[in-house]
Amino acid sequence: MCLSPPCLFQFQKQGKDVEKVKQRLAEIANYVDKFYRVLNIRVALVGLEVWSDVDKCAVTQDPFTTLHEFLDWRKLKLLPQRPHDNAQLISGVYFQGTTIGMAPIMSMCTAEQSGGIVMDHSDNPLGAAVTLAHELGHNFGMNHDTPERGCGCRMTVDRGGCIMTPSTG
Alpha-carbon distance 139 to 52, whole Å? 27
Number of domains in the chain: 1
Alpha-carbon distance 159 to 111, whole Å? 36
Q: Is the pLDDT of residue 8 over 50?
A: no
Q: Is the pLDDT of residue 127 over 50?
A: yes
**Structural domain includes residue 160:** no
Alpha-carbon distance 87 to 114, whole Å? 7
Alpha-carbon distance 31 to 56, whole Å? 26
Q: Is the pLDDT of residue 158 over 70?
A: no
56 versus 151: the higher-pLDDT residue is 56
Annotated binding-site residues read 134, 138, 144
**Structural domain includes residue 44:** yes
pLDDT of residue 147: 80
pLDDT of residue 7: 42
> What's the pTM value of the predicted model, to 2 decimals?
0.87
**Structural domain includes residue 108:** yes
- The CATH number covering residue 29 comes to 3.40.390.10
Mean pLDDT of the chain: 87
pLDDT of residue 12: 54
CB contact at 8 A, 35 and 21: no
Catalytic residue among 19, 49, 112, 135: 135
**Structural domain includes residue 157:** no
User: pLDDT tens for residues 80-113?
Assistant: 999 999 999 999 889 999 999 999 999 998 999 9
**Structural domain includes residue 51:** yes
pLDDT of residue 9: 46
CB atoms within 10 A of CB 142: 16
10 Å CB burial of residue 32 (0-12, 13-18, 19+) is buried
**Structural domain includes residue 20:** yes
pLDDT of residue 27: 95
**Structural domain includes residue 161:** no
**Structural domain includes residue 167:** no
Q: Is 135 a catalytic residue?
A: yes
Domain that holds residue 122: 2-144
Annotated binding-site residues for Zn(2+) read 134, 138, 144
